[in-house]
């Protein structure tokens, strides 16, 4: 007998290219759950009404994506510690008529690094970018005991993020100029280099946030851009001999963490990666 139907979804604007429905519906099918996950294109001013409708329809969970991760907070009843620290929500759980906000982006990145054989504690990590995804990654890596440096095109944004980490977590974060020479200087004392900018994302797939000249083979290089799966940045790093980790891993693991929050299950990571990769190639 099929179990009770439960509703899930992702809310963003625009949303039509989201890979979350295909990934989560594949999990539900595999586990024999009669649940469904849909994409909702909602504008900022309609978020309140949308969430009320979700409550009425007994939704169990939502993912939240660009541009609503911060704006949605005002409609939630409570936040977990990560979401509160990062001040952004990518996962909502509906529980006893309450809306609870979580952020699984940073944990998704850390899990992907661990899957690639990296331990985070004590590692020296240079993060390129200071946007929404970078914020979540910087907070999570700081919580896990990494030594962090940030480099962002808009220096002021990186400075503000570093200040926030110092104030909230009492940890020092180095801010590096977003220039090839400054990044080259810090690479010899870096273990993991993460591109958390949107540089290299489709359709500008031949761009890379830094040139091959600044890389060295001892680095582990991760790109959180996942379209294309192998970015120019990762291709350059691979050619030099670096260990590389693509952005699909983070996407899959942030989704897996959402599933753990909603359903307390062990998500089928391999299947999730397979369906996402099939959609991207």
| C-alpha–C-alpha distance, residues 231 and 110, integer Å | 20
Q: Interface with ligand NAP includes 105 (CB under 6 A)?
A: yes
Phi, psi of 194 (to 5 degrees): -120, 125
Q: Interface with ligand NAP includes 58 (CB under 6 A)?
A: no
Q: Interface with ligand NAP includes 260 (CB under 6 A)?
A: no
Residue 29 a catalytic site member = no
Tokens of 73: 């907070």
Where does this chain touch ligand NAP (CB under 6 A) — which range of 13-21, 221-229, 232-240, 269-277? 221-229
Q: Interface with ligand NAP includes 225 (CB under 6 A)?
A: yes
In order of 38, 39, 100, 102, the CA distances from 7 in angstroms are 8, 11, 16, 18
Where does this chain touch ligand NAP (CB under 6 A) — which range of 35-43, 77-85, 193-201, 262-270? 193-201
Quick count: other Cβ atoms within 10 Å of Cβ 2? Answer: 7
Quick count: other Cβ atoms within 10 Å of Cβ 212? Answer: 14
214 vs 250 by CB, closer to ligand NAP: 250
Q: Interface with ligand NAP includes 267 (CB under 6 A)?
A: no
Q: Interface with ligand NAP includes 129 (CB under 6 A)?
A: yes
Kind and range of the H or E run holding 111:
helix 105-115
Q: Interface with ligand NAP includes 37 (CB under 6 A)?
A: no
Quick count: other Cβ atoms within 10 Å of Cβ 98? Answer: 11
Q: Interface with ligand NAP includes 232 (CB under 6 A)?
A: no
61 vs 129 by CB, closer to ligand NAP: 129
Evaluate the CA torsion angle 54, 137, 183, 162 in order and state its sign. positive
| Minimum distance of ligand NAP from residue 196's CB (angstroms) | 6
Q: Interface with ligand NAP includes 116 (CB under 6 A)?
A: no
Cβ–Cβ under 8 Å, residues 23 and 255: yes
| C-alpha–C-alpha distance, residues 253 and 153, integer Å | 27
Cα 147-149-151 angle, rounded to 5 deg:
165
Where does this chain touch ligand NAP (CB under 6 A) — which range of 4-12, 42-50, 118-126, 245-253? 245-253
Binding site for ligand NAP (CB under 6 A): 66, 105, 108, 129-134, 152-154, 157, 196-199, 201, 224-226, 247, 250-251, 254
Q: Any idea which residues carry the catalytic annotation?
A: 69
């Amino acid at each position: 007998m099929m179990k009770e139907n439960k509703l899930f979804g992702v809310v963003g604007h625009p949303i039509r290219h989201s890979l979350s429905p295909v990934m989560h519906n594949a999990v539900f099918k595999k586990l024999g759950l009669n649940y469904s996950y849909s994409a909702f294109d909602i504008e900022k001013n309609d978020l309140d009404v949308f969430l009320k409708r979700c409550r009425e329809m007994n939704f169990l969970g939502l993912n939240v994506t660009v541009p609503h991760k911060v704006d949605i907070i005002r409609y939630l009843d409570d936040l977990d510690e990560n979401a509160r620290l990062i001040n952004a929500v990518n996962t909502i759980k509906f529980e006893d008529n309450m809306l609870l906000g979580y952020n699984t982006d940073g944990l998704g990145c850390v899990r992907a690094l661990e899957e690639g054989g990296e331990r985070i504690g004590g590692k020296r990590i240079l993060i390129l970018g200071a946007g929404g995804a970078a914020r979540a990654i910087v907070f999570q890596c700081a919580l896990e005991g990494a030594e962090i440096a940030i480099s962002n095109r808009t220096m002021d944004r990186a400075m503000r993020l570093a200040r926030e980490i110092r104030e909230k977590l009492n940890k020092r974060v180095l801010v590096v100029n977003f220039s090839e020479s400054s990044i080259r200087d810090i690479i010899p004392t870096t273990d993991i280099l993460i591109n958390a900018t949107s540089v290299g994302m489709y359709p500008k797939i031949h761009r890379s946030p830094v040139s091959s000249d600044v890389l060295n083979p001892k680095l582990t290089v991760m790109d959180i851009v996942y379209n294309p799966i192998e970015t120019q940045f990762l291709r350059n790093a691979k050619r030099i001999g670096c260990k590389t980790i693509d952005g699909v891993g983070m996407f899959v693991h942030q989704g897996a963490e959402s599933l753990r929050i909603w359903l307390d299950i062990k998500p089928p990571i391999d299947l999730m990666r397979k369906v996402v990769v099939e959609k991207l190639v």
